[in-house]
């Protein structure tokens, strides 16, 4: 089979398998725990809410308006978070002192719940995209940073020495050897960070901006609109699966064209 | 579902508090008097099931918020043994809160005999479940709702029009009443900046917003205790005089467990009579026993107890009894639900249980 086609198809097959598992667990859990139909909606209820209900057009409008805001917020948080993580990881390679000074900060991001930091972030950054970016960064940075640093360190000593022999300094080593070597871990970091970035975006929407799915889900709960709640959760789940698979495809294609990380 | 294990241990703790406080003596005496009164009444009508066999068993009652002084009457119903005397083995109050499942959902899905809610939540439940949602309001603790949009004294909103150009902090569960307030007062929502906030008035205290929508008996007190002058726009003075603290039950329960519900109402009425007598004690019971794990502020709860008293007990209730509703109040409340944007059946309120309670126990009107 065409290797590029293969790189695209495999994640798609996996995606279909995940969908089957999710649906089975969903229906099975509702049945097994005998959840009241007022709260526990099944796939057919969600389908009806979004497509066959007389007001389904209005329902789709509500849910998807929230959805695109959340996707944009996720992109902002993910982009800024990955950028900061990559930049910091490279700075770590150049200066060990910087690493010792900054790593505890990254750990604070991980260990203090975002909900507890939210009021301060909102006071500093306001209630718009700056807060979204800040909260996205906080969620993304620790796992991404650790993974990228690991990747940068994985450069082979022999290649590093070649650059040094030709008079290259630390920055040159990083550019010529470290960055290409860390490509696979960069993709791993991206995959690990996407669900986090989505959660971070929804938290930011709930605690700061007051729009998107993060707020919509809270709204649906307080208004006892459980159809909307399940539809929103389902769409967010599907979106994170699709984005995750998409990064998998990108990773395979890049690996194929550069030859880096093929063995992994 | 959130359940406070504290509810189980509250009575013994309460005993300790009572023994160490002199102010409680009066409460005890009144309680004794009330018990005496009940003994007399229950002799008069042996068929209302109000004997102390505990034949109604243990029941759960989900509340609409965390355990603040807002539910003080029910705390006394448990602590003073009123519910027990009405025939329950135990009445277990289940704490609610911003993250809890709304009590109306709990009641509709079969958790609890009756619950504490408010007309707007009930309306929104009908909106999503349709007319056969089957939940009824059988009484209202608050004759007037405590909703208000409040602002700071140095940038006050004294009339609804003053809100134009201001920013107002609104929690998700208050969005409906916020828009209803603007609608009733003829203000274009585009002229006021709505800021989505959480359930505390902190953004008003720290200057992030100009005003906040919440309970005058709850969030506003935090702002006052922060040392600010607070200016109030009460909903009941500005076109939305609806009742709150709705006691709700399903149609099914009303049919199958009518006597239990009546007993619960009777115990709650007696509890509120006791609670309204001594605000200090009501606040203390709340802070030290029922909400001990919440770390509530004594001063705050005392203010809550003082301020909610005139909303619970007024000229109407003095004549007709606590929890009852006049036809006018029913109409006003239905209208408010409609303005918020929810369709509810005209017979949402079933006040016949309360009528029977007071018919069978006329002493409950004037304890």
| Interface contact flag, B124 A225, Cβ < 8 Å | yes
Lowest mean pLDDT among A74-83, A94-103, B32-41, B194-203: B32-41
Whether the per-residue pLDDT at B35 is higher than 60: the answer is no
Q: Determine the topology of domain B6-143+243-364 in CATH.
A: D-Maltodextrin-Binding Protein; domain 2 (3.40.190)
Q: Looking at residue B270, what is its pLDDT?
A: 96
Whether the per-residue pLDDT at B367 is higher than 70: the answer is no
Residues of A in contact with B108 (CB under 8 A): 36, 38
Q: A227: distance to nearest CA of chain B, Å? A: 8
Residues of A in contact with B173 (CB under 8 A): 222-223
Average pLDDT, chain B: 86
Among residues of chain A, what percentage have pLDDT more than 90? 46
**Residue A264, domain member (yes or no):** no
Whether the per-residue pLDDT at B50 is higher than 80: the answer is no
Please report the residues numbered 162 through 201 in chain B whose beta carbons come closer than 8 angstroms to any beta carbon of chain A.
Answer: 172-173, 175-176, 195-198
Residues of B in contact with A209 (CB under 8 A): 196
Q: Is B36 exposed, middle or buried (0-12, 13-18, 19+ CB in 10 A)?
A: exposed
At B257-297, the pLDDT tens digits run 999 999 999 999 999 999 999 999 999 999 999 999 888 99
Question: A202 or B51, which is more confident?
Answer: A202
CATH of residue A241: 1.10.3720.10
At A7-33, the pLDDT tens digits run 778 878 888 998 999 999 999 999 999
Name, in order, each residue with C-beta under 8 angstroms of B63's C-beta and a sequence gap of 6 or more: B71, B74, B93, B94, B95, B96, B103, B115, B116
Mean pLDDT, range B220-245, rounded to an integer: 94
At B336-349, the pLDDT tens digits run 999 999 999 999 99
Is A28's Cβ below 8 Å from some Cβ in B? no
* Distance, CA of B60 to CA of B354 (rounded, Å): 20
Q: Looking at residue B54, what is its pLDDT?
A: 59
Whether the per-residue pLDDT at A208 is higher than 60: the answer is yes
Same fold, B6-143+243-364 and B147-237: yes
Question: B149 or A94, which is more confident?
Answer: B149
At B44, the pLDDT band (50, 70, 90 cuts) reads very low
3-state secondary structure chain B: CCCCCHHHHHHHHHHHHHHHCCCHHHHHHHHHHHHHHHHHHHHHCHHHCCCCCCCCCEEEEECCCCCCHHHHHHHHHHHCCHHHHCCCCEEEEECCCCCCCCHHHHHHCCCCCCEEECHHHHHHHHHHHCHHHCEEEEEEEECCCCEEEEEECCCCCCCHHHHCCCEEEECHHHHHHHHHHHHHCCCCHHHCEEEECCCCCHHHHCCCCCEEEEECCCHHHHHHHCCCCEEEEEHHHCCCCCCEEEEEEEHHHHHHCHHHHHHHHHHHHHHHHHHHHCHHHHHHHHHHHHCHHHCCCHHHHHHHHHHHHHHHCCHHHHHHCCCCCCHHHHHHHHHHHHHHCCCCCCCCECCHHHHHHHHHCHHHCCC
At A175, the pLDDT band (50, 70, 90 cuts) reads confident
Q: Looking at residue B308, what is its pLDDT?
A: 96
Lowest mean pLDDT among A175-179, B116-120, B235-239: A175-179
At B87, the pLDDT band (50, 70, 90 cuts) reads very high
* Distance, CA of B279 to CA of B299 (rounded, Å): 11
**Residue A263, domain member (yes or no):** no
CA angle (B12, B94, B50) in 5-degree steps? 70
Whether the per-residue pLDDT at B107 is higher than 70: the answer is yes
| Interface contact flag, A38 B109, Cβ < 8 Å | yes
**Domain ranges across chain B:** 6-143+243-364, 147-237
**Domain, as residue range, for A72:** 3-258
Mean pLDDT, range A163-175, rounded to an integer: 88
Beta pairing, strands B193-196 & B167-170: parallel
Is A154's Cβ below 8 Å from some Cβ in B? no
Interface test with A, best of B62, B118, B128, B133 (most A CBs within 10 A): B128
**Residue A144, domain member (yes or no):** yes
Please report the residues numbered 176 through 205 in chain A whose beta carbons come closer than 8 angstroms to any beta carbon of chain B.
Answer: none
At A219, the pLDDT band (50, 70, 90 cuts) reads confident
**Residue A29, domain member (yes or no):** yes
* Distance, CA of A95 to CA of A146 (rounded, Å): 16
Whether the per-residue pLDDT at A107 is higher than 60: the answer is yes
Superfamily of domain B147-237: Periplasmic binding protein-like II (3.40.190.10)
Mean pLDDT, range B144-149, rounded to an integer: 95
Question: A172 or B30, which is more confident?
Answer: A172
At B160-175, the pLDDT tens digits run 999 999 999 999 888 8
Q: Looking at residue B19, what is its pLDDT?
A: 38
Q: Indicate whether this complex's ipTM tops 0.90.
A: no
Residues of B in contact with A227 (CB under 8 A): 128
At A205, the pLDDT band (50, 70, 90 cuts) reads very high
Q: Looking at residue A1, what is its pLDDT?
A: 63
Whether the per-residue pLDDT at B302 is higher than 90: the answer is yes
CB B263 within 8 A of CB B256: no
Mean pLDDT, range B38-46, rounded to an integer: 41
């Amino acid at each position: 089979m065409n290797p590029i086609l293969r790189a695209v198809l495999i994640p798609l097959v996996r995606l279909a398998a995940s969908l089957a598992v999710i649906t089975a667990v969903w229906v099975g859990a509702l049945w097994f725990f005998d959840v009241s139909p007022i709260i526990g909606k099944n796939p057919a209820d969600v389908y009806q809410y979004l497509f066959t209900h007389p007001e389904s057009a209005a329902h789709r409008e509500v849910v998807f308006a929230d959805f695109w805001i959340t996707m944009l917020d996720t992109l902002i948080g993910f982009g800024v978070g990955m950028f900061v993580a990559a930049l910091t990881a490279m700075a770590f390679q150049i200066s060990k002192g910087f690493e010792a000074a900054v790593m505890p900060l990254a750990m604070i991001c991980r260990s203090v719940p975002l909900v507890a930091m939210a009021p301060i972030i909102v006071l500093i950054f306001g209630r718009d995209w700056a807060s979204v970016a800040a909260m996205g960064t906080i969620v993304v940075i620790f796992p991404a940073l650790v993974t990228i640093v690991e990747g940068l360190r994985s450069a082979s000593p022999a290649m590093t020495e070649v650059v040094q022999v030709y008079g290259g300094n630390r920055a040159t080593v990083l550019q010529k050897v470290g960055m290409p070597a860390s490509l696979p871990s960069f993709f791993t970091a991206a995959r690990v960070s996407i669900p986090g970035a989505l959660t971070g975006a929804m938290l930011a929407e709930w605690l700061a901006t007051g729009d998107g799915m993060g707020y919509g889900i809270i709204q649906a709960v307080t208004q006892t609109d459980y159809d909307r709640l399940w539809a929103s959760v389902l769409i967010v789940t599907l979106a994170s699966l699709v984005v995750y698979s998409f990064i998998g495809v990108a990773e395979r294609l890049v690996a194929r064209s550069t030859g880096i990380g093929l063995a992994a | 579902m959130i359940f406070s294990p504290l509810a189980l241990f509250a009575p013994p703790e309460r005993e300790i508090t009572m023994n160490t406080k002199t102010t409680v003596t009066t409460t005890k005496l009144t309680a004794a008097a009330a018990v005496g009164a009940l003994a007399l009444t229950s002799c008069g009508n042996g068929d209302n099931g109000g004997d102390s066999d505990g034949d109604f068993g243990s029941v759960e009652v989900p509340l609409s918020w965390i355990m603040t002084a807002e539910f003080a009457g029910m705390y006394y119903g448990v602590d003073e043994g009123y519910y027990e005397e009405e025939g329950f083995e135990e009445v277990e109050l289940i704490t609610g809160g911003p993250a809890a499942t709304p009590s109306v959902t709990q009641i509709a899905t079969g958790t609890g005999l009756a619950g504490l809610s408010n007309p707007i939540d009930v309306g929104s439940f009908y909106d999503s479940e349709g007319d056969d949602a089957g939940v009824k309001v059988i009484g209202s603790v608050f004759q007037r709702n405590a909703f208000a949009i409040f602002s700071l004294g140095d940038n006050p909103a004294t009339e609804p029009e003053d809100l134009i150009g201001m920013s107002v902090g609104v929690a998700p569960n208050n969005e409906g009443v916020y828009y209803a307030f603007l609608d009733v007062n003829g203000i274009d929502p585009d002229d006021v900046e709505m800021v989505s906030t959480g359930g505390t008035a902190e953004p008003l205290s720290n200057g992030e917003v100009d005003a906040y929508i919440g309970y005058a008996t709850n969030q506003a007190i935090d702002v006052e205790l922060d040392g600010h002058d607070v200016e109030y726009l009460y909903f009941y003075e500005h076109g939305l005089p609806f009742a709150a603290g709705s006691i709700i039950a399903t149609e099914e329960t009303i049919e199958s467990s009518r006597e239990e519900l009546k007993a619960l109402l009777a115990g709650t009425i007696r509890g509120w009579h006791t609670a309204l007598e001594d605000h200090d004690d009501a606040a203390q019971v709340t802070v030290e026993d029922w909400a001990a794990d919440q770390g509530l502020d004594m001063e705050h709860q005392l203010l809550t107890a003082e301020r909610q008293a005139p909303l619970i007990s007024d000229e109407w209730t003095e004549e007709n009894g606590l929890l009852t509703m006049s036809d006018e109040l029913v109409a006003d409340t239905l209208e408010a639900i409609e303005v918020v944007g929810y369709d509810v059946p005209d017979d949402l309120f079933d006040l016949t249980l309360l009528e029977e309670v007071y018919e069978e126990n006329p002493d409950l009107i004037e304890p």
